[in-house]
Amino acid sequence: MGGIRDVARHAGVAPSSVTRVLNGYPNISEDLRARVMAAIEACDYKPDAVASGLRRGVTRTIGIVVSDIVNPLFAEIVEGLEERLREDGYWFVLAHSHGDPEHDVESIRLLQQRRVDGLVLSVADETQPALLDILSRLRLPVVLLDREIEGWTEASAVLSDHRPGVAQVTGDLLDAGHTRVALISGSAETRPGRERLAGFREAFMARGLSPDSDIVQTGAMSVRAGQDAAREVLSRHPRPTAIITGANLQLVGVLKTMQELGLRVGKDVALAACDDVPIASLYAPPITVVARDTRQLGREAADLLLERLGDPARPARTIHLPTHVLTRASTQTLGAPEAGPTTPVAPQQP
């Protein structure tokens, strides 16, 4: 497959004319355009995006860093991002951190070398010094996904309002008579973890109660972390009558533990989760969640990035997106909060 020179020779024109036709420059004669198009066809010519990128100083590629694409939350965000970016002719390169903060920094460095035009980040640890270090040197538009990096205001961000959502479910549980409500959530190194904890506390304090003894925080957003945390919290005496999970993979772990222990969701222990992942609505009984529109989150992030890509002078912006509580059976069917089960029973069909 030849280059632009071959096409030019074939059409009997200059290479620059081929470029002009390809990139829709004005003032091109119909004759030239036709000859060039024919030659492009004849040579099966495909412009080399690498060469073009080198010359233009722009790659039309965005780097995306998330912890784990298997997490449906990130998968949906990435899909939202992709849809919007692609409309504008951008592609993306994806890097996983698997929850490792150093991996995040390394990914950013390598994406920078690949000359991506912008970055969308959901870092594993906002507080890592090396992160601030590399970001502050970076001359690239950055959008943070539900993250806040202290001391760095150059980035745009899309933030979800976790606090009021979690405060509401927590409050609903307390108002329904639950006295021992546990929170299993992500660490404070990340905004959602902090905000959810804040919302949780808020609900208690608004009622003159103190939640601290039943809070369990786990750093890892993983099934195992949720499983372990649930084992710990459910072994306490008196046992909590309700659990709120803050990360969707942890929810899976909590469900597993409850199955192991023969505890029925919504009967023996009320359960609420964050993010309306498929498992939440399909579980029997369906699980109450603090939901948000993840695809929209991705789209908004893309918009934020595109606006700065189009005009680098535009200042960074922060967008807040709402959450809303979807109340389902898992927090509504509790019979006798203090009564333990005698026999293991499968969750009921609705």
Helix axes 72-87 and 294-310, enclosed angle (nearest 10): 40
From the list a second copy, DNA, none, pick the one residue 78 interacts with, judged by a Cβ distance below 5 to 8 Å according to partner type. a second copy
Tokens of 12: 């009997």
From the list DNA, a second copy, none, pick the one residue 3 interacts with, judged by a Cβ distance below 5 to 8 Å according to partner type. DNA
We find the least distance from the C-beta atom of residue 311 to a second copy, in angstroms, to be: 22
- Counting runs of H as helices and runs of E as strands, what totals does the chain give? 13, 12
We find the least distance from the C-beta atom of residue 263 to a second copy, in angstroms, to be: 9
From the list DNA, a second copy, none, pick the one residue 22 interacts with, judged by a Cβ distance below 5 to 8 Å according to partner type. DNA
61 binds DNA (CB under 7 A): no
Q: Dihedrals φ, ψ of 156, to 5°?
A: -80, 165
Distance from chain centroid for Cα 177: 34
> Virtual CA dihedral for 168, 71, 97, 89, nearest 10 degrees?
-100
Candidates 49-57, 178-186, 272-280, 316-324: pick the segment binding DNA (CB under 7 A).
49-57
Looking only at residues 85 through 104 of this chain, which bind a second copy when binding is defined by CB under 8 A? 91-96
- Taken in order 232, 169, 98, 188, the sign of the CA dihedral is negative
9, 32, 176, 259: which one contacts DNA (CB under 7 A)? Answer: 32
9, 37, 47, 321: which one contacts DNA (CB under 7 A)? Answer: 47
- For DNA, the closer of residues 12 and 341 by Cβ is 12
Candidates 43-51, 142-150, 179-187, 198-206: pick the segment binding a second copy (CB under 8 A).
43-51
22 binds DNA (CB under 7 A): yes
265 binds a second copy (CB under 8 A): yes
What does each C-alpha distance from 334 to 74, 205, 297, 344 come to in angstroms? 32, 24, 34, 16
14 binds DNA (CB under 7 A): yes
On whether the CB atoms of residues 110 and 93 are closer than 8 A, the answer is: no
Cα 308–126–136 angle (5° rounding)? 50
Beta bridge partners of 91: 61
What does each C-alpha distance from 63 to 115, 118, 231, 298, 323 come to in angstroms? 9, 6, 38, 14, 27
Give the whole-angstrom CA distance, residue 79 versus residue 68: 13
19 binds DNA (CB under 7 A): yes
244 binds a second copy (CB under 8 A): no
Cis preceding linkage at 192, omega within 30: no
Looking only at residues 307 through 336 of this chain, which bind a second copy when binding is defined by CB under 8 A? none
From the list DNA, a second copy, none, pick the one residue 110 interacts with, judged by a Cβ distance below 5 to 8 Å according to partner type. a second copy
Of 254, 253, 225, 240, nearest to 334 by C-alpha is: 240
From the list a second copy, DNA, none, pick the one residue 19 interacts with, judged by a Cβ distance below 5 to 8 Å according to partner type. DNA
What does each C-alpha distance from 55 to 4, 123, 135, 213, 272 come to in angstroms? 14, 31, 25, 60, 53
37 binds DNA (CB under 7 A): no
54 binds DNA (CB under 7 A): yes
We find the least distance from the C-beta atom of residue 134 to DNA, in angstroms, to be: 18
On whether the CB atoms of residues 290 and 248 are closer than 8 A, the answer is: no
Site size for DNA (CB under 7 A): 28
Q: Which residues bind a second copy (CB under 8 A)?
A: 1, 44, 46-51, 53-54, 59, 61, 68-70, 72, 75-76, 78-79, 82, 91-96, 109-110, 112-115, 137, 139, 252, 255-256, 259, 264-265, 267, 278-279, 282-285, 341-350
Q: Which residues bind DNA (CB under 7 A)?
A: 3-5, 12-20, 22-23, 27-29, 31-32, 45, 47-48, 51-52, 54-57
